[in-house]
A and B are shown apart, each in its own frame.
Chain A
Amino acid sequence: MNNVGTALYEEMIRTFDMSGASHTKETASLAHLRKEAFRTFKEKGFPTIKDEDWRFTNMAPYLKDAYQLQVPVKVEATALEALLDSTAVEEWDAWKLVLVNGQIDYSLSDLPEAGLLKISSLKEVLGSEEVSKFIGLHQNTDANRLAALNTALFEDGLFIEVAKGQKAEKPLHIVHLYTADVPSFVQPRHLILLGRLSEFTFMESTACVGGEAPVLVNGVLECNLEEGANLTHYVLQRGRRGERMVQHTQVYQARDSRYDNVTISLPETDLIRNQLQVALDGSGSECHLYGLYLPSAGQLIDNHTVVDHLQPHCESNELYKGVLQNSAKAVFNGKIFVRQIAQKTNAFQQNNNLLLGDKALVHSKPQLEIFADDVKCSHGSTIGQFNPESLFYLRARGIGEALAKELLVQAFGADITDRVSSDAVSRHLKKHLLERPVTQLQDVPHIEHI
């Protein structure tokens, strides 16, 4: 225990002590897991900058608000619909699942008939041993106390199961809407299970509406990929001032499975902390992780990724790029483990940053821990400004300086948005990049060119 967010910490303890009543229908194993997870959190409290994994991301200022844990949604349906419209992906033929403060809103959703693609609220299936055994299965609660807190206290979220050998007929667009009139602490929990040789594509969009009150989202998503399963996952994070988001995504991969992730984090949200952790636990499995983060003034975007090569003949590719305006802050911490048994591993990781403000700051920390001896691995990191030659070339064709810089930012980001295999989604992401306000481009001292 430490003294960060003390009032909130005590609120958590009270809540946990009372939560037993609402969890009576859950399996005994889940009850046990919750208890263990809570013990970890209770012992150590919220993360502080003394924790190695939180050195550059200080949660303390975001834990001071008088958050409420169970806040009824009070927002006009029309406001929700307007917000929902803003997340729509043009010309993308997809099912739609809308969650408001972590709860499914069926009236706003458009879902397939119950069948081989099963979608329900997580709460509905928590009594099933078959399902609940996957919760927290591959999560290291000790190292991820906020995820542990979620495990202890989560009430609901979303459950998706794609049956063995099935390819979901259409992709699914999951829209997370958040709204708060009073400071709210939301802990959604989602579980996605992909059966053997199944295939599924989904996109998560986040948006925030209503009120100026702070919202802290402490979300956990777990994805379990059985042999040969193929999961494509796009994430577009958009929010407002006062929103803070900690998202823990745990992916477990059995042999010959493939996981693709593209995560775009747009400006405005106070804090985004993404913890994407992938365990490659079957030979022949591969994951491809791409990220683009665009923090603006006073904002912090932190991407912590872990790729764990637990078996031989696996491949991981990772490219994260950041564009930082004025006083924006970003953290990239990418860890790759290659276990002793994981021979013939291919693991690549790269982090490139474009610093556009003289007070912009990025902590880039690529890490490789290799215990095997027959592997191909590389990692790297760059920090730089606009290439003056590229800028001059565009200007020499009549393009004004501000627009030329904007084009170069888009070009920098296109490296990530082009990884999206769906044209409609790719266009959608690019459109958001275009709308991104580059408010104060400044000339900064020359460091190195990308």
Chain B
Amino acid sequence: MLSIKNLHAEVEEKKILKGINLEVKAGEVHAIMGPNGSGKSSLASVLAGRENYQVTEGEVLLYGKDLLDMAPEVRAREGVFLAFQYPVEIPGVSNISFLKTALSEIRAYRGLPPLESREFLKLSKERQALVEFDASLANRSLNEGFSGGEKKRNEIFQLAMLEPKLSILDETDSGLDIDALRIVSAGVNKLRSSDNAFIIITHYQRLLDYIVPDFVHVLYDGRIVRSGTKELALELEEKGYDWLKESLQETSPAQQRVI
């Protein structure tokens, strides 16, 4: 589904991603872990098409199409979804009409007519229930005055509505209490299928207790330095990122750079 090859990117001439390679197949869940500043969120931003990132090398293919060549909205219509680390508040845009617009745009791209109001409402109720998202929140302005947890739940509600192929969850667990984390994870688990894939970016192993990944990758200094199964996450949790930095230093000191 997604193929990232030797991806290099920078922001304001500062190199952030330094050669990422990653293959994601339908049905898989990949976790990307790493210390702060390692480039996790940057990878999410580059995949979603945030404009201030410059890709300097490498390619990203989604079902064989050049993802990096597409505008952010085209990526979304092709099935990429980014659950934002910091969802934006947009007063004056109603949550539900925003979703209706987004869904219509995506459907139009696929040659489908917009959903009838009744169908849309039905779908929306069903998906709200999935993430226990309060109907009163759905009718308010987009994220305006929402708590941190409500905003994150709204991201997953949107994900459920738009049914993307590839979902990238950027630190969705940060700022969530245990109950909210459980609800969000349960929602994601219900949405998992053999057709879609998830990239879960997180600093903590905790989320991976609930959403069990097929693969765990460790990002450090703009590169994936380790890949493994869910046990790798446990090891990291136990030993911390310093252990990783030290072990990297031992194995390949030449790769280390002073930033």
Cα A412 to Cα B77 in complex, Å, equals 26
9 contacts between A and B (CB under 8 A): A390-B88, A392-B72, A396-B75, A397-B73, A398-B73, A398-B76, A401-B73, A404-B73, A408-B93
Shortest CB-to-CB span from A31 to chain B, Å, is 51
List A contacts of B76 (CB < 8 A): 395-398
Cα A389 to Cα B50 in complex, Å, equals 9
List B contacts of A397 (CB < 8 A): 73, 76, 98-99, 102, 158, 162
Write the residues of chain A forming the contact surface with B, with a CB cutoff of 8 angstroms: 387-390, 392-401, 403-404, 407-408, 410-415, 418
The reply on B175 being an interface residue by CB < 8 A is no
Question: CB-nearest residue of chain A relative to B45?
Answer: A392
B98 close to A394 (CB less than 8 A): yes
A392 close to B50 (CB less than 8 A): yes
Residues of B54-89 contacting chain A, CB below 8 A: 71-73, 75-77, 81-82, 84, 87-88
Cα A389 to Cα B142 in complex, Å, equals 14
Write the residues of chain B forming the contact surface with A, with a CB cutoff of 8 angstroms: 48-51, 71-73, 75-77, 81-82, 84, 87-88, 90-93, 98-99, 101-103, 105-106, 109, 141, 158, 162
Cα A71 to Cα B50 in complex, Å, equals 59
Cα A148 to Cα B79 in complex, Å, equals 64
Cα A41 to Cα B101 in complex, Å, equals 54
Given known A392-B51, A399-B102, A407-B98, contact A415–B71 (CB-CB < 8 A):
no
Cα A401 to Cα B84 in complex, Å, equals 19
List A contacts of B99 (CB < 8 A): 397
List A contacts of B87 (CB < 8 A): 393
B92 close to A395 (CB less than 8 A): no
A403 close to B105 (CB less than 8 A): yes
Question: CB-nearest residue of chain B relative to A404?
Answer: B73
A396 close to B48 (CB less than 8 A): yes
Cα A418 to Cα B51 in complex, Å, equals 33
Question: CB-nearest residue of chain B relative to A417?
Answer: B92
Partner of A388, one of B49, B51, B81: B51
Shortest CB-to-CB span from B113 to chain A, Å, is 16
Cα A396 to Cα B166 in complex, Å, equals 13
List A contacts of B82 (CB < 8 A): 396
List B contacts of A410 (CB < 8 A): 92-93
Given known A392-B51, A393-B84, A394-B98, contact A399–B105 (CB-CB < 8 A):
yes
Partner of A398, one of B51, B84, B109: B109
Cα A320 to Cα B217 in complex, Å, equals 52
Q: A395-B76, A401-B71, A415-B92 are in contact. List 6 more A-B contacts (CB 8 A).
A: A387-B88, A394-B93, A395-B49, A396-B84, A398-B102, A400-B105
Cα A396 to Cα B46 in complex, Å, equals 12
Cα A414 to Cα B48 in complex, Å, equals 29
Cα A23 to Cα B168 in complex, Å, equals 77
Q: Interface centre among B99, B105, B109, by most A CB within 10 Å?
A: B105
Shortest CB-to-CB span from B152 to chain A, Å, is 14
Cα A150 to Cα B48 in complex, Å, equals 59
A408 close to B90 (CB less than 8 A): yes
Given known A388-B51, A403-B105, A407-B98, contact A396–B92 (CB-CB < 8 A):
no
Cα A395 to Cα B74 in complex, Å, equals 8
Question: CB-nearest residue of chain B relative to A389?
Answer: B88
Cα A400 to Cα B109 in complex, Å, equals 11
Shortest CB-to-CB span from B82 to chain A, Å, is 5
Cα A414 to Cα B144 in complex, Å, equals 14
Given known A392-B72, A398-B73, contact A411–B105 (CB-CB < 8 A):
no
